[in-house]
């Protein structure tokens, strides 16, 4: 079979690797100059950096076995340290009771607990919003301190307008009780996936996983085309027939695996009904701006990354690549920080030029007192359009009928964060790639849209450790 793969990110490269490994012909088309999509690794100032923090963690044996098959022993276990910056203080995340108590103070901590117990005694009716979901789990005061500001920065909408699906996917079964239990007991049996304190990381950066997959695909006699954007998927009689490139070139294929932005794909599908294209126009993406700063210090702060909850700052997260693995910085005696900003197309921030963005980033990182102004030597801006699918309330009313339509097109397989309009981690996208390949090769009938919707059970549960796979 001849298969076109649109996009060389985790989902697309996983599908391409497995299909080529089983002697099917694949052509991968990537619009950017890099392999890895949102998880790519780029060279900068003599070092390597990811596009923000990319922690890989999975309990799914299929995902972990494939990851290790590619990475082999070229990884290290990273001890996670992440904190929340709020009102000039740093809060450990996951929760450390004495740190939280010291920062909040006895009065505020007591009010938070009273708010939690009040919420439990008088639960509000959930209205389908992120705000009501989190308040019911943690109480109003903790919601306002640890969830509201950061979440509204990320999504650009009120937490009242954000769908509870985001909480259900990312926070799932985590509650205040579980967080406190984890903080005091720290046993393996009570580890929620958002609280894991160690993870496997490739020595060459996150993108090295997908670069290796691309090399294997090419070694098997297949093609990976960079800087080759696809304009649209072509269908005929409700079957995928091929693709059309931006220059008008048409290529015929038996199957098409698409990770291109979901809304773009639907709007350009030749046979899609107009009412579905109108629904697709209701779905929105959020953009990311990464401002990298070169700092003439090797020891700035110990965190892998920080969540910036300060409402008076535009940035939402800061990654310190010096605190991941030595393979990223080698012999360089300087640190690279990545400050993350999020914006819609029509917001002023998205239109700032590089100099203005670098100036803003310098000002904000100095305001945290983590970096002295004289230590910042250079800045670099990297823009990521359409990096976050926005779960505004009622988004499924538009998404569900479109998913039903695309899943009925023979030979079309829609996967990936952007491609499926799901807020995937790497492990979700890898699993989508595995299942898409199995659907093509074996007609397995996997529900690709169900991944990362209610994804808590595994065929076999295991985790990656320094010695390989360990069953849970």
How confident is residue 184, by pLDDT bands cut at 50, 70 and 90? low
CATH fold label, 2-37+206-283+394-455: FAD/NAD(P)-binding domain (3.50.50)
pLDDT at 207 exceeding the cut of 50: yes
Residue 467 confidence (pLDDT)? 83
**Contact between 396 and 419 (Cβ < 8 Å):** no
**Contact between 310 and 86 (Cβ < 8 Å):** yes
Condensed to tens digits (0 to 9), the pLDDT of residues 117-174 reads 898 888 777 788 999 988 988 889 989 988 899 999 999 999 999 998 888 776 655 5
Range of weakest confidence among 43-47, 67-71, 186-190, 263-267: 186-190
Beta-strand relationship, 2-6 and 25-29: parallel
Q: Which two tokens stand for residue 276?
A: 């579905």
- In the chain, the N- to C-terminal Cα span, in Å, equals 38
Q: Which two tokens stand for residue 378?
A: 């250079």
**How far is Cα 212 from Cα 127, in angstroms, rounded to an integer?**
45
Mean pLDDT score, 92-113 = 85
**Contact between 308 and 317 (Cβ < 8 Å):** yes
Range of weakest confidence among 94-98, 385-389, 467-471: 94-98
Annotated domain spans of the chain: 2-37+206-283+394-455, 95-196
Residue 176 confidence (pLDDT)? 58
Residue 471 confidence (pLDDT)? 82
Residue 458 confidence (pLDDT)? 46
Residue 190 confidence (pLDDT)? 44
Mean pLDDT score, 4-27 = 98
pLDDT at 420 exceeding the cut of 80: yes
75 or 138, which is more confident? Answer: 75
Q: Which two tokens stand for residue 214?
A: 């691309």
The mean of the pLDDT values for the chain is 91
**How far is Cα 392 from Cα 164, in angstroms, rounded to an integer?**
9
Residue 189 confidence (pLDDT)? 46
Condensed to tens digits (0 to 9), the pLDDT of residues 317-348 reads 999 999 999 999 999 999 999 999 999 999 99
Q: Could you tell me the CA-to-CA distances from 106 to 48, 325, 401 in Å, in that order? A: 43, 38, 51
Phi and psi for 305 in degrees, rounded to 5?
-155, 160
């Amino acid at each position: 079979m001849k298969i076109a793969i649109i996009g060389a990110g985790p989902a697309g490269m996983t599908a391409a690797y497995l299909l080529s490994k089983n002697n099917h012909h694949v052509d991968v088309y990537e619009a950017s100059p890099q392999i890895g999509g949102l998880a790519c690794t780029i060279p900068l100032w003599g070092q390597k950096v990811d596009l923000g923090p990319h922690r890989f963690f999975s309990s799914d044996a299929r995902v972990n076995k494939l990851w290790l098959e590619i990475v082999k022993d070229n990884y290290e276990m990273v001890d996670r340290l992440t904190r929340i910056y709020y009102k000039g203080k740093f809060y450990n995340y996951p929760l450390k009771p004495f740190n939280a108590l010291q920062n909040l103070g006895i009065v505020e901590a007591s009010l938070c607990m009273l708010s939690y117990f009040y919420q439990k005694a008088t639960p509000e009716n959930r209205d389908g919003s992120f705000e009501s979901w989190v308040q019911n789990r943690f109480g109003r005061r903790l919601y306002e301190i640890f969830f509201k500001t950061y979440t509204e920065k990320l999504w650009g909408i009120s937490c009242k307008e954000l769908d509870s699906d985001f909480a259900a996917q990312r926070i799932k079964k985590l509650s205040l009780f579980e967080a406190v239990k984890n903080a005091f007991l720290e046993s393996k049996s009570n580890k929620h996936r958002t609280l894991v304190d160690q993870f496997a990381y490739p020595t060459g950066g996150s993108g090295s996983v997908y670069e290796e997959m691309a090399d294997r695909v090419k070694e098997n006699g297949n093609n990976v085309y960079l800087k080759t954007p696809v304009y649209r998927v072509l269908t005929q009689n409700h079957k995928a027939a091929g693709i059309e490139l931006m220059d008008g070139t048409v290529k015929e294929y038996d199957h098409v695996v698409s990770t291109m932005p979901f809304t773009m794909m639907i709007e350009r599908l030749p046979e899609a009904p107009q009412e579905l294209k109108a629904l697709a126009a209701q779905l929105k993406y959020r953009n990311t701006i990464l401002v990298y700063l070169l700092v003439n210090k090797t020891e700035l702060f110990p965190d892998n990354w920080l969540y910036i909850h300060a409402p008076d700052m535009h940035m939402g997260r800061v990654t310190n690549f010096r605190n991941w693995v030595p393979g990223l910085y080698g012999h360089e005696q300087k640190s690279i920080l990545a400050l993350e900003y999020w914006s819609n197309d029509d917001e002023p921030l998205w239109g700032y030029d590089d100099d203005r963005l670098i100036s803003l980033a310098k000002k904000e990182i100095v305001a945290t007192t983590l970096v002295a102004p004289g230590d910042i030597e250079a800045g670099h801006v990297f823009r990521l359009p359409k990096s976050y699918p926005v779960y505004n309330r009622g988004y499924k009313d538009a998404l569900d009928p479109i998913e039903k339509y695309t899943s009925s097109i023979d030979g079309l397989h829609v996967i990936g964060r952007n491609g499926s309009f799901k807020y995937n981690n790497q492990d979700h996208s890898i699993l989508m790639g595995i299942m898409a390949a199995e659907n093509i090769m074996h007609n397995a009938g996997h529900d690709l849209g169900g991944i990362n919707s209610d994804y808590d059970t595994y065929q076999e549960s295991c985790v990656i450790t320094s010695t390989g796979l360990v069953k849970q």
